[in-house]
Amino acid sequence: MSLFNKHEQTIRKAIEALHTRTFFAAFPEHPSPAVYGETADADGQARFKAQLGKKFEELLQENPASWIGEEESPYLQEKLDITYPSFPVETLIDRARKAYHVWRKVSPEQRAGILAESLDRMKSRFFEIAYATMHTTGQGFMMAFQASGPHAADRALEAIAAGYEELTRFPQKAFWDKPMGKFNIQLNKEWRAVPKGVSLVIGCSTFPTWNTVPGLYASLVTGNPVIVKPHPGAVLPIAIVVAEIQKVLKEQNLDPHICQLAPDTSDKLITKELAEHPDVKLIDFTGNSVFGNYLESLPGKTTFTEKTGVNCVLLHSVQDADKVAANLAFSVSLYSGQMCTAPQNFFIPEKGIQTAQGEISFEEFAQKFIDNLNSLIDNPKAGPFVLGTIQNKRTYDRIAEAEKLPGKVWLKSRTIAHPQFSKARTATPVVVEVNADKTDIFSKELFGPIALLIKVKDIEHALHLAGELARKHGAISCGAYTTDKGVREKIADEMALAGAPVSFNLVGGIYMNQNAGFSDFHVTGGNPAGNASFTNPEFVVKRFTWVGHREPAVA
């Protein structure tokens, strides 16, 4: 049985889900022993620990120039001392160029089968990837498992499905028969989906697999060899994925350099050299806007970016203010605000918020928000695990600076003890009230657990500000609370125009930060927060060129 046959049903279900956009997940998100096996957690943790202080020798990339690595655990605040094989850029490009002519000739079916198989292999290492993610990104275990494991694998499968669908959307051959009156012109036609060339996928430090696999799998399924350049601070999780892809390629007697890892270190980054190389035709990037804009401006490349945005919450009217405050407190705390979808600016009308129990004032709502934050933070069974740790020192410093912003500090950030890791770099959210005229302050992304409460005249004022921010500075998510249908549609329309998806009236166990494969488009491409979207048709069709040849059917 071919790998395509083995995985065909999953791929077809994934394509169907892309179109119905109803709930679908190929990989169970709950790390339960019943699903993943009794020993899976312990085995994964053991494998992770066994890797510490050693060379990562699973990659099928020979003759490295050196072994490098600088990852550090935000839980232990010490180096992982794992090193990865490093190669000169020209070696990486040469190998990718050769691999291109192998991979492009592999059929879409075979490619999809190989890639789906690699996700099965990845699945067997979800726990190891989870620990690797915890100790590089600082995420709590549950998020590390879900985001880097099943959710990432689902996003990868989504890219396989979307790519496979586009590649098979037009026939390989057709008979074209044109009546001309007395005779017919008859042509045999054929179409080839020509992959664009070497693809560079640049990872980020906070979501090393989730944000990397969509571009990686989208480029691979459409026939492009990929060089994965991870963030030097978060290599291991994606190194495991690349290793598994390489193993499946080798088993299929294909060149493992179809997918290469290109680690570097922060004192000698190779991203620009790779990106500017004339043979690199495709670039995927997650990270800061300055570098993203530079990449987008490179001529002769097709670039897919997720940059930064400023996410807003608009409060107008709610059923139950406590539930709303609890939901938002969780959103701000989740992975200490280090999600690109985390809310930052909370627009609250100066006249307060309408609730089923009557109006509550700006101050009352702010206090509810603070109370919910404190109760989450101070819950030793929840706080440390929801907050996780702070990935890097720069984010940590930014939190301290936020307390100096001109405005009332409603809540100071503090460190909390982690029950398992005494040296964990933690920081709870800081909440500052900022005047609505201080747009220079709240029109920047303040990455990390930083929430700004902004008193606005009314919902129109809030919507005007939120729309402007999204249009000018980008937005990846938006939260809105209103029980008024007219207001809801105004927000839905205005934020859609600004390319920002809105989560309305979320309470309970679902948060505006969350984003589901096969249903939610992640980043819309319609504002400065990024030019690409996981996974709309554009995300795959731009990776190859349709070329048609023709010839008379009767010579």
Residues binding its own copies (CB under 8 A): 19-23, 30, 166, 169-171, 174-181, 183, 185, 187, 189-192, 194, 196, 297, 299, 319, 492, 495-497, 499-510, 516, 519-521, 524-526, 533, 536-538, 541-542, 545-552, 555
Cα 354 from chain centroid (whole Å)? 35
Q: Which residues contact 263 (CB under 8 A, 6 or more apart)?
A: 68, 69, 84, 85, 86, 229, 230, 232, 235, 239
Provide the phi-psi class of 287: left if phi over 0, else alpha when psi is between -120 and 50, else beta. Answer: left
Q: Which residues contact 486 (CB under 8 A, 6 or more apart)?
A: none
Residue whose CB is less far from its own copies, 353 or 366: 353
Smallest separation (angstroms) from its own copies to the CB of 260: 21
Residue whose CB is less far from its own copies, 71 or 158: 158
Distance, in Å, from the CA atom of 204 to the CA atom of 405, rounded to the nearest integer, reads: 28
Smallest separation (angstroms) from its own copies to the CB of 87: 26
Q: Of the candidates 354, 364, 329, which has an alpha carbon nearest to the alpha carbon of residue 343?
A: 329
Residue whose CB is less far from its own copies, 1 or 554: 554
Residue whose CB is less far from its own copies, 65 or 185: 185
Residue whose CB is less far from its own copies, 360 or 512: 512
Residue whose CB is less far from its own copies, 267 or 551: 551
Distance, in Å, from the CA atom of 449 to the CA atom of 425, rounded to the nearest integer, reads: 13
Smallest separation (angstroms) from its own copies to the CB of 248: 26
Task: Say how many C-beta atoms besides its own lie within 10 A of residue 4's C-beta.
Answer: 19
What does residue 530 show for φ and ψ, rounded to 5 degrees?
160, 155
Smallest separation (angstroms) from its own copies to the CB of 205: 27
3-state secondary structure of 339: coil
Q: Which helix (H) or strand (E) holds 400?
A: helix 393-402
CA–CA distance from 255 to each of 117, 202, 225, 251, 375 (Å)?
Answer: 16, 22, 10, 10, 54
Distance, in Å, from the CA atom of 298 to the CA atom of 272, rounded to the nearest integer, reads: 10
Smallest separation (angstroms) from its own copies to the CB of 545: 3
3-state secondary structure of 547: strand
Smallest separation (angstroms) from its own copies to the CB of 190: 8
Residue whose CB is less far from its own copies, 275 or 523: 523
Residue whose CB is less far from its own copies, 64 or 537: 537
Smallest separation (angstroms) from its own copies to the CB of 186: 9
Q: Which helix (H) or strand (E) holds 119?
A: helix 108-123
Residue whose CB is less far from its own copies, 24 or 56: 24
Smallest separation (angstroms) from its own copies to the CB of 244: 27
Specify the amino acid at residue 17. Answer: A
Residue whose CB is less far from its own copies, 266 or 297: 297
Question: Exposed, middle or buried: residue 46 (CB in 10 Å: 0-12, 13-18, 19+)?
Answer: middle
What does residue 251 show for φ and ψ, rounded to 5 degrees?
-60, -30
Which residue carries 């109006």 as its tokens? Answer: 359
Smallest separation (angstroms) from its own copies to the CB of 378: 26
Q: Of the candidates 12, 166, 202, 228, which has an alpha carbon nearest to the alpha carbon of residue 535?
A: 166
Smallest separation (angstroms) from its own copies to the CB of 157: 17
